Amino acid sequence: MPLYEYECIKCRKNIEDSVKKLQKKIDPETVSNLVEKYDNIHYIEVTDLGKNKTLAKHGSRDRDGIELDFYINEGNTRVLFNTKRYRFAELIYDKDDEKNLKCYCGETKQIERVVSSFAYTHDLSTNMPKPDLSNLPPEVRARTVISDYIEEKDRPKKNR
């Protein structure tokens, strides 16, 4: 039986829209409006990484939620979200099962299947999947280099 991963479009869009709003304007009012407006967002905290200062925060973290980081203003500002989970896996026995999907937010319609994070790991012989660095803080990401490992047989032969 195939196990598929799904994502709630509505939850994801709420987060994306919030990031877009905060790219235009960051103040306590904007942050609290976003937390109040979107049901799936429990908490937002905006930090100026250069000054190591919290610019705004609102809401309260939910222990069952997930935390997501976004970096705006060329990586100088971190936006941390605590939100309801919106990605989940379901065993699908037949086509009709997809009609019964439900996100943690209660959404049942705007749900899409996403490519499973396990899908590309079957063939380990050639290209190893690289870890996703997009969620690392920019300071860390800048120092993290993942280079291609070249197998012995593929290395250029030394001239003698």
| Of residues 46 and 103, the one with the C-beta less far from Zn ion | 103
Least distance (Å) between residue 13 CB and Zn ion: 9
Task: Give dist(CA 82, CA 68) in Å, integer.
Answer: 7
| Of residues 9 and 55, the one with the C-beta less far from Zn ion | 9
Say if CB 83 and CB 104 are below 8 A apart: no
Task: Give dist(CA 67, CA 15) in Å, integer.
Answer: 11
Least distance (Å) between residue 94 CB and Zn ion: 24
At 159 the three-state DSSP class reads: coil
Least distance (Å) between residue 16 CB and Zn ion: 13
Q: Looking at residue 114, what DSSP letter applies? A: E
Residues that bind Zn ion (CB under 5 A): 8, 11, 86, 103, 105, 107
* Cross-strand bridge partners of residue 87: 7
| Of residues 43 and 71, the one with the C-beta less far from Zn ion | 43
